[in-house]
Structure 1
Amino acid sequence: MSQVIASAVSQNSKISVDARPSQGTNRNVSEVINGKTEIAYIQNWTANKIRQNEKPFNNLKYQPHQVFHLYDLAWFLATANNGWKSVKDIKVNSNVSPTPNGSGTAEMLEHALSFVSDDYKRSSVSYGDQASAMSEGRLDVGAATYVNLSTEPGWLQQMKSTVNLRVLNWPKKTVEKLEADPAIVISDIDMSQFDNYAYKPKTLSTPTLAYNFIVREDHDYDTLYSFLETLWTQRKKLQKQTKLLTPMATRDAWVKNAYADFPFHPAAADFYEEKGLWSKEFERGKTNKKSSQ
């Protein structure tokens, strides 16, 4: 996705953009703050830690500013255990892998599970190995995701073809508590678009990670504005390179799930005002003087 974005901007403007592999959203913050990367994405869980001045993001030298929304990953828990329909079915000593240890998603899902139970056994199974672990009785519950709430990754499709996979829903009262948590985004997903599950609820309400690009507060105004302007003119063509960027053809997708109380870079704020997308609920960063670069 980032490579397609970089190519679209580089080929249609005077800006040269080089997309490089990321070592995770926490690392991305450090890379941006230290000037090793000019623009990178994070997710709302990390954004909340920055907002709350929590370690390891306390006392940052520069204020990260958000720029635009990239995509969403709706994370849910699944099982091959007959009869299970809810995360409430997780029992004491059940083997649960809320994504592998060390992943950027693990901490968020563990936090969500704490609203239901703390008595499970924390397992760590890679995405591609979850199905075999379930078949062998080593794993009761694993994690899965929908990209942009609609696309199943290949490893999830492989899970469904290996075991009778059941989607676990979250209790209504738990969902209400999670929705009130500023660190959590909840998505309601129409499950009629997905097939070949042994069980699925009609609507799945589940924690979601919203990935937005950030820059440092002193990022050059004109360069960033030109970046956004070029990408905007190319937005409908991005899907020809990857369907994962199809949502960017929709205007509102650029500011979807904007982080609350997290400033937009002034160039982005001005750009969205011009496009009629700015909301009074958004926060504008301190105005940077326009440069002639």
Structure 2
Amino acid sequence: MGYQETTRRRALAAIGAASTIGIAGCMGGGGGDQLQMRTSTEDTSAYQLSSGLAAVADNHDEISIDARPSDGALQSMRQLDAGDADLAYTDAYNSWEIINEMGEYEDEPFESEIQAAFWYYDIYGGLTAADQETAETVEDLDGLAVNPNPVGTAMRTMTEAHLEHALDLDSYDELALDYGEEGSALGEGTADVVSDIRINVDLQPSYVEEQYSINDDAWLVHWPDNVVESIQDDDAPVTGEYLSVDDTPGPDVGDRDEEWWVATVYNVYVREDFDNDTMYTLLEMIRDNSEELADYQDLAGDWADMENLAEPAADIPDVEMHEGAQDFFEDEGVL
């Protein structure tokens, strides 16, 4: 399949990657006073979670974090590679592309080695059409205006890796909408198909709730069995999962009991030279303040279980775990 090629969309997803915010503080050797953390745009759970982490750190003496928004996971990882961030996040597929110099990284590879630190959350992605007649299945997207997640997000890259099994990516009109713009664009008719995001299955972001509140006929686009089988046969880690329609309220699903969703794991990454003691201290802070973190963002409640934090980050194809994180999780008895 075309996942190994540098498509126009993957190049577009890198727009803004060269822009940087802030100066990284905790480089190799442990120098600097403040960790620079980059995730995604201000309207996302990713940024809210990082802001909560920074706020909790401010209440304690162990560590300091400056969490600022970025244009998405792809940009935050470029900032990490450039030394303008100490902590960044992306999904397992994007990190696999980085390590193996696939996609956009074939022509613009990273100069630094990235390593996994800890699990952030799981994301599930669907596609929503204005109604069933617009696009019943992903094989019906030909000629439509489609926003397969915002430009610069790792979910856009992963969704496109799925769609390559259904049709030529150049066959639809590619849009560049932010998450908060998708619902109104669908209602106004400037978009035919937009994204649907669920975090850890049961969390529906507010912009998705709004999307369905203003689009009564919105239809969850179906992934036919033959397309899913092709995805599952892909040598690349293009991952998905069937979810019960009872767990994904909002769109019209017809008489379906379940539907295939793009499914991927987001982790926090550092460069190989990130200080081991600082990593250990960061993870200790998360362990000791999980309830306070959850007060800022409900998703952090899942961080109370150290096994949740450890196992996904230790199981990324071709990506090593940072030594400081490995030491911490081994001491916790979860690796």
- Fold equivalence (TM over 0.5): yes
Aligned mate of 2:225, from 166, 172, 178: 172
Q: 1:251 to 1:117 in 2, by over 3 A?
A: same
Q: 1:214 to 1:185 in 2, by over 3 A?
A: same
Give CA deviations for 1:179-226 in whole Å, capped at 9, x if unaligned: 444332313323213444322642232112422111111111111111
- Unaligned 5+ runs, structure 2: 1-48
Aligned mate of 1:262, from 290, 296, 319: 319
1:98 aligns with 2:148: yes
Normalising by structure 1, report the TM-score. 0.83
Aligned mate of 2:119, from 50, 69, 73: 69
Distance of 1:264 and 1:270 partners within structure 2: 10
Distance of 2:261 and 2:61 partners within structure 1: 39
Distance of 1:60 and 1:128 partners within structure 2: 31
1:235 aligns with 2:287: no
Q: Which one-letter code corresponds to 2:224 in the other structure?
A: P
1:2 aligns with 2:2: no
1:87 aligns with 2:138: yes
Which is further off, 72-81 or 235-244?
Answer: 235-244
Q: Which residue of 2 aligns with 1:273?
A: 330
Partner secondary structure for residue 19 of structure 1? strand
Q: Which residue of 1 aligns with 2:32?
A: none
Give CA deviations for 1:239-290 in whole Å, capped at 9, x if unaligned: 2222122221233321353322201011111112222322xxxxxxxxxxxx
Distance of 2:207 and 2:165 partners within structure 1: 28
Note the 1:119-134 alignment, pairs <5 A.
119-134=171-186
Q: 1:191 to 1:217 in 2, by over 3 A?
A: same
Aligned mate of 1:42, from 87, 90, 93: 90
Q: Which one-letter code corresponds to 1:193 in the other structure?
A: D
1:56 aligns with 2:111: no
Q: Which residue of 1 aligns with 2:272?
A: 217
**Residue pair 2:91, 2:264 contacting (<8 A) in 1 also:** yes
Distance of 2:73 and 2:56 partners within structure 1: 23
Partner secondary structure for residue 277 of structure 1? coil
Distance of 1:9 and 1:135 partners within structure 2: 41
**Residue pair 1:39, 1:214 contacting (<8 A) in 2 also:** yes
**Residue pair 1:85, 1:199 contacting (<8 A) in 2 also:** no
**Residue pair 1:44, 1:210 contacting (<8 A) in 2 also:** yes
Q: 1:183 to 1:240 in 2, by over 3 A?
A: same
Aligned mate of 1:147, from 199, 211, 221: 199
- Post-superposition shift, 1:97? 2.2
Normalising by structure 2, report the TM-score. 0.73
1:183 aligns with 2:237: yes
Give CA deviations for 1:91-138 in whole Å, capped at 9, x if unaligned: 532332212445443332222112112233334444344344434444
Q: Which residue of 2 aligns with 1:192?
A: 246
CA RMSD in angstroms, aligned pairs only: 2.5
- Unaligned 5+ runs, structure 1: 279-293
**Residue pair 1:75, 1:208 contacting (<8 A) in 2 also:** yes
Q: 1:230 to 1:135 in 2, by over 3 A?
A: closer
Q: 1:59 to 1:105 in 2, by over 3 A?
A: closer
**Residue pair 2:294, 2:301 contacting (<8 A) in 1 also:** yes
Q: Which residue of 2 aligns with 1:248?
A: 303
Note the 1:201-216 alignment, pairs <5 A.
201-216=256-271
Q: 1:129 to 1:38 in 2, by over 3 A?
A: closer
Distance of 2:211 and 2:164 partners within structure 1: 25
**Residue pair 1:13, 1:230 contacting (<8 A) in 2 also:** no
Identical columns (%)? 25
**Residue pair 1:165, 1:199 contacting (<8 A) in 2 also:** no
Distance of 1:108 and 1:238 partners within structure 2: 29
Q: Which one-letter code corresponds to 1:19 in the other structure?
A: A
Distance of 2:175 and 2:110 partners within structure 1: 33
Distance of 1:123 and 1:223 partners within structure 2: 41
Which is further off, 57-66 or 260-269?
Answer: 57-66
Aligned mate of 2:73, from 11, 25, 45: 25
Aligned mate of 1:110, from 145, 160, 180: 160
Distance of 1:194 and 1:60 partners within structure 2: 37
Count of equivalent residues: 277
Distance of 2:191 and 2:66 partners within structure 1: 40
**Residue pair 1:32, 1:216 contacting (<8 A) in 2 also:** yes
